[in-house]
Structure 1
Amino acid sequence: MDPISIPRPEHPRPQFYRESWRSLNGAWQFDFDYSDSKKAQGWAEKDSLPLSITVPFCPESSLSGLGATDFVDAVWYRREVALTEQELEGRVLLHFGAVDYHCEVFVNGQAAGSHDGGYTSFTVDITEAVHAGENAVTVYASDHLRTGKQPSGKQSHQFASFGCFYTRTTGIWQTVWLEFVPKVYLASLEAVPDPDNACVHLRAFTNVPASGMKLRAAASLEGREAGEAAAACTGSCTAFTLPLSETALWEPGSPRLYDLALTLESGEGKAADKVSSYFGLRKIELRDGAIQINGRPVFQRLVLDQGFYPDGIYTAPSDEALRQDIRLSMEMGFNGARLHEKVFEDRFLYWADRMGYLVWGEFPNWGLNISEADALCTVLPQWLEEVKRDFNHPALIGWCPFNETWDFNGRPQDDRVLSGIYYATKAADPTRPVIDTSGNFHVVTDIYDVHDYEQDPEVFYKRYAENPEPYENYPQRQRYGGQPYFVSEYGGTWWNAEEAATQRVRMENGEGGLTGWGYGARPLTEEEAGKRIAALTKALLDDPKMCAYCYTQLTDVEQEQNGLYTYDRKPKFSEAVYRVIREGFAAPAAIEKK
């Protein structure tokens, strides 16, 4: 396929880059499997499928070329891939950014690998199944989000979207790509920045034990050499420290990054594998009721970002669209986001790193029944895959594996699920704070947060700015324990200019029947909406206990009309009203005045 015509052609993993890669995005053969029965009919070996789809867009999206939004239990993909003798000299890796939900991969009719989890990346080594010339790659994906046995985030479990649930995503929804690597290769990297000691601690993992080889790391800063170190490899994990000759901190709004070159050398000193990466030098501490970055408290002005797109659903139509969402947020006065009920594309985090934009790593826990302990078996492997994938991003400021863990059919959460995930996360990443479940119901957490969609600014001000104690929204189910504290969902102010005009007419005629969805009473004018948003924000900024806020939300999503922009990222308000909103978001916080 002509590279110009390949959708989403950029490298999907810029923190671990090799030159020897090839995108498999574009046209694939495709078919629906509504009864999930075609595997038994031998479809893994079929030489063609009747439909066509554009990967990496899900079949529900218009960009896929299908726009089929009904429930489907399973889907099939197939395409031919030509390989050369040179590409087969080492190992051939087939990477998937994300496939929702259970995925099985077949190459030339042979089972090559499988994966459970609709949001995390995985790799299948297909070396033994391929040959020089044309090879058939077939992908089967099943998706049963109404069972309560799989995380599905904000995907609607009804036929149509409703409330804060939206169009579903099935099958492949992130880039599919090939990578050609040596027989012994670097599989992953963990970089722990240490600004106090002017160094970065590295742990590099190889696919097999690399005894007798050497790993060399070289850092540079804006083109200048900044440090070099090497270590002999023992086993499949090599750990060493890279001292830095120049210290430059990564901070929100000032994102200085080091480039990192990794070279795996053979016993003769020849380069066997090369990987390009980068890292940011910064530390996170919880101190004096604040979240500190590099030794100073940073008030986090966050926005809720759901990561949905009108034409791509879960998948951004372009790399520029990912960057544009961050730009829109920063122009509104935010310095970060909760990446809500979804594992975002790796390239979103890349742009956050490059733009100095704070993000919280979350997981799409909604849809999973956590009133039973076996939910831990489902979520833990997928969550740890996310933690491992995103560990090195300096923009990622904390983890939040669960959101609003409501009762399931009247049964409360099994607290062991939340505490188990919390402790596993702290073991996998001791460098970042962890919120066990955002909003409710907390079990063990580093930061205490609540959600509050009260729309009356006077009530909100009394509840927060004038309340000497942190507001407890569910005192019968959780208890504040002195942690840093913030309101991680508020606002949600419902505004749509056309519907507001219709609403006024209906009110004059004594009629109801409003359309759309949002929180609380809808303002009747955009001026009222802007003043309400600013006043609600002021209540949090004036609260001396508050270390952050998170406003709901960046854009409208389908019927949910409480975004600061429309679903297609267009302005919703006049510039005069936007000025009131931006000034409200950017006003000094009480914690910043100390």
Structure 2
Amino acid sequence: MMNKRTEYPRPQFQREQWTNLNGEWEFAFDDLDQGMDEKWHEGKVSFSQKIQVPFVYQSELSQINQREVHDRVWYRKEFSYTGEKQVLLHFGAVDYQADVYLNGVYIGGHIGGHTSFSFNVTNYLEKEGQQVLVVKVYDPHADETIPRGKQFWEKESRGIWYTNSTGIWQTVWLEEVAVSHIKQVIFQPDVDEGKVGIRLIFPAEAVGKQVGYQISFQGEAIASDLVMVTSTEMNRSVELYQNKIFRSNFHDNGWTWSPEKPNLFDVSLKLIDSEDAVLDKVVSYFGFRKIHTEKGMTFLNNYPYYQRLVLDQGYWPTGLLTAPTDEDFKRDIELAKEMGFNGCRKHQKVEDPRFLYWADQLGFIVWGECASAPVYTEKAVERLTNEWFEIIERDRNHPSIVTWVPLNESWGVPDIHHNQQQQHFSEGIYHLIHSLDDSRLVISNDGWEMTVTDICAIHNYSHGGVEEGKKYDHFIETLSTVENLINQAPGKWGIYAEGYRHRGEPIMLTEFGGIGYQVGEQDGWGYTSVSDATEFVSEYGRIMSALYSSKALFGYCYTQLTDVEQEINGLLAYDRTPKCDLAKIKEINRQYFPERLYSEAKK
């Protein structure tokens, strides 16, 4: 089988010298937990099974395609490598706990199933012959403190729960770097001032060298500099207004990033020694983008912006959490835009950076959400919090991400309505994320029982079927005013947790719809049901008409983009086949423009 994931996995921090380790690896289940006793980690024992990385054993593309639950699995890969520079070994994501051995030596571990990690393996490489890489993975399915999201803990998926994933599910690669290199770059665009802050992180060996940057727009260099590295962390502020393309009307001329005009600035970074030799070169980009709330609305680049989002679970029939190809990420965004959506809420999943890259390039708003744990314990709090440090560190430079969602529908905080400890966690994670990243909005608990939040995000599927007139009328009435929206919660608890209230933040309907329509052989369920494409479009229009009649809502997120396993409530089938003429969905999505709200914003 040809490796389907050959693209560079970290597009916002790209080097030329790298080696993709995807493809065929040896693989073994370790249900008896005998691997360590039998010294599998030393790399001398070959495993009988073969697996295609980066696809988990539960997926078809792994070529194992087994749905039995296995908590412990092992990977083994032999590869040849010769080089004179330092070598970094990168893992895109491994679910859940990974311990890594190279040539029989333990080089490190990582806990967390959704974020990237790496090791400097230079001192562990053999000078000649084959290198042997072994990865031990522990994914205890009975442990409810693990942020698992929609992954089911049993063999067969059902309800809202999908097939679980164990092991390597994003790209593994090697990267050559000099001892003196650039470790990280963080961009901090300031739309109001026309500046971009550049924070650079270096190892101690880089101090005394020179770092140069060049910022280009549409192929034209607009800013550059060469400065001495005086510490392991440096901050530069680059004025862009003074350059000719920003002579006047910065915002109106379209130099900012938006779904309609996804303008990006290319950045080249070089680390240079005293003899002008290039030690390291990194290619990156950023977008000039500002998101804030005011007067009950969200503003993008200081203009009111109505978000038309679609819920996206990020699952594929043959790859599960892993997209079969890079083109699949791009195609999902193109299909959503073809239907008139300007963004998505990535639901219960920290998505692959390649998806975020295409969202940046194509112009597509993303709400970044994490996977939830099902219970509240101190360990669950620790694990979720640790993942947020890594999520923000990895993804903060993507202009497409405008909102962070750390909690959903009180998952992992089941008693938050009246339990002050769980309320403290919700409010605490809200403030923590803001303390790490001040360039985005944060929702404290998407759906209901919110504490402090930047958007009042409400879930409501109580629109009924076409024959349920009274239920539909009540749905319209609920959406009609701010008071009705926050006082007529459809579920057990209120929209706000006890002791908290609406403070004027924008209100969005962030889950609704879910029309069930079966195409092909896939059977399943939806929140309402239709039998053909004509009825499907009509039902979508009926539900959207109720939403558009609201004078209190400022945006929405429709459930959902695609069918997923037993859920047949997508606008597209699981294989991305459109269920109807997508132009008709776009026509419905575009029929409403909140002129009243926009005019009020200008007062």
Q: Contact 2:374–2:412 at 8 Å: present in 1 too?
A: no
Asked if 1:145 is matched to 2:141, the reply is yes
> Which of 307, 311, 334 is equivalent to 2:341?
334
Aligned to 1:504: none
> Which of 395, 399, 405 is equivalent to 1:394?
399
Cα deviation, 1:488-536, whole Å, max 9, x if unaligned, reads 1111111115799xxxxxxxxxxxxxx62222x4235543332222222
Deviation at 1:153, TM superposition (A): 0.9
TM-score (norm: length of structure 2) = 0.90
Q: Contact 1:60–1:69 at 8 Å: present in 2 too?
A: yes
> Which of 453, 460, 464 is equivalent to 1:452?
460
Q: Contact 1:284–1:292 at 8 Å: present in 2 too?
A: yes
Aligned to 1:506: none
Counterparts of 2:437 and 2:295 in 1: how far apart (Å)? 22
Cα deviation, 1:229-283, whole Å, max 9, x if unaligned, reads 3333232111111222234211112111111001112244432211000111121
Q: Contact 2:33–2:72 at 8 Å: present in 1 too?
A: yes
Counterparts of 2:401 and 2:206 in 1: how far apart (Å)? 31
Asked if 1:22 is matched to 2:29, the reply is no
Asked if 1:423 is matched to 2:431, the reply is yes
Cα deviation, 1:97-139, whole Å, max 9, x if unaligned, reads 0000000000000000100001001111111111233110001
Asked if 1:587 is matched to 2:591, the reply is yes
Higher mean alpha-carbon deviation, 301-310 vs 218-227, is at: 218-227
Aligned to 2:250: none
Query: Where do 1:45-64 residues align within 5 Å?
Result: 45-47=42-44, 48-64=46-62
Deviation at 1:410, TM superposition (A): 7.0
Deviation at 1:72, TM superposition (A): 0.4
State the secondary structure of the residue aligned to 1:186: coil
Aligned to 1:463: 478
Q: Structure 1 residues 267, 49: CA separation in 2 closer, same or farther (over 3 Å shift)?
A: same
> Which of 175, 182, 191 is equivalent to 1:179?
175
Query: Where do 1:427-438 residues align within 5 Å?
Result: 427-438=435-446
Q: Contact 2:446–2:457 at 8 Å: present in 1 too?
A: yes
Query: Where do 1:260-409 residues align within 5 Å?
Result: 260-365=267-372, 367-369=373-375, 371-406=376-411
Higher mean alpha-carbon deviation, 159-168 vs 489-498, is at: 489-498
Q: Contact 2:187–2:199 at 8 Å: present in 1 too?
A: yes
Counterparts of 1:497 and 1:321 in 2: how far apart (Å)? 20
Q: Structure 1 residues 286, 77: CA separation in 2 closer, same or farther (over 3 Å shift)?
A: same
Asked if 1:41 is matched to 2:38, the reply is yes
Asked if 1:490 is matched to 2:512, the reply is yes
Higher mean alpha-carbon deviation, 62-71 vs 411-420, is at: 411-420
Aligned to 1:512: none
Q: Contact 2:191–2:289 at 8 Å: present in 1 too?
A: yes
Q: Structure 1 residues 405, 242: CA separation in 2 closer, same or farther (over 3 Å shift)?
A: same
Q: Structure 1 residues 271, 128: CA separation in 2 closer, same or farther (over 3 Å shift)?
A: same
State the secondary structure of the residue aligned to 2:510: strand
Task: State the one-letter code of the partner of 1:392.
Answer: N
The runs of 4+ residues in structure 1 deviating greater than 6 Å are: 407-411
Q: Contact 1:77–1:138 at 8 Å: present in 2 too?
A: yes
Asked if 1:477 is matched to 2:473, the reply is no
TM-score (norm: length of structure 1) = 0.91
Aligned residue pairs, count: 568
Q: Contact 2:103–2:126 at 8 Å: present in 1 too?
A: no
User: What percentage of aligned pairs have identical amino acids?
Assistant: 38
Q: Structure 1 residues 118, 406: CA separation in 2 closer, same or farther (over 3 Å shift)?
A: closer
Deviation at 1:447, TM superposition (A): 1.3
> Which of 548, 553, 562 is equivalent to 2:555?
548
Aligned to 2:85: 90
Counterparts of 1:551 and 1:49 in 2: how far apart (Å)? 45
Q: Contact 1:492–1:552 at 8 Å: present in 2 too?
A: yes
Higher mean alpha-carbon deviation, 159-168 vs 259-268, is at: 259-268
Aligned to 1:509: none
Deviation at 1:290, TM superposition (A): 1.2
> Which of 231, 235, 241 is equivalent to 1:235?
231
Structure 2: give runs of 5+ residues left out of the alignment: 247-254, 465-471
Q: Structure 1 residues 420, 526: CA separation in 2 closer, same or farther (over 3 Å shift)?
A: same
Counterparts of 2:66 and 2:291 in 1: how far apart (Å)? 44
Counterparts of 1:346 and 1:471 in 2: how far apart (Å)? 35
Asked if 1:156 is matched to 2:152, the reply is yes
State the secondary structure of the residue aligned to 2:485: coil
Cα deviation, 1:156-194, whole Å, max 9, x if unaligned, reads 122211011111111000000000000021111110112
Counterparts of 1:469 and 1:206 in 2: how far apart (Å)? 53
Task: State the one-letter code of the partner of 2:458.
Answer: V
Counterparts of 1:220 and 1:569 in 2: how far apart (Å)? 36
Counterparts of 1:360 and 1:104 in 2: how far apart (Å)? 31
> Which of 63, 66, 86 is equivalent to 2:64?
66
CA RMSD in angstroms, aligned pairs only: 2.1
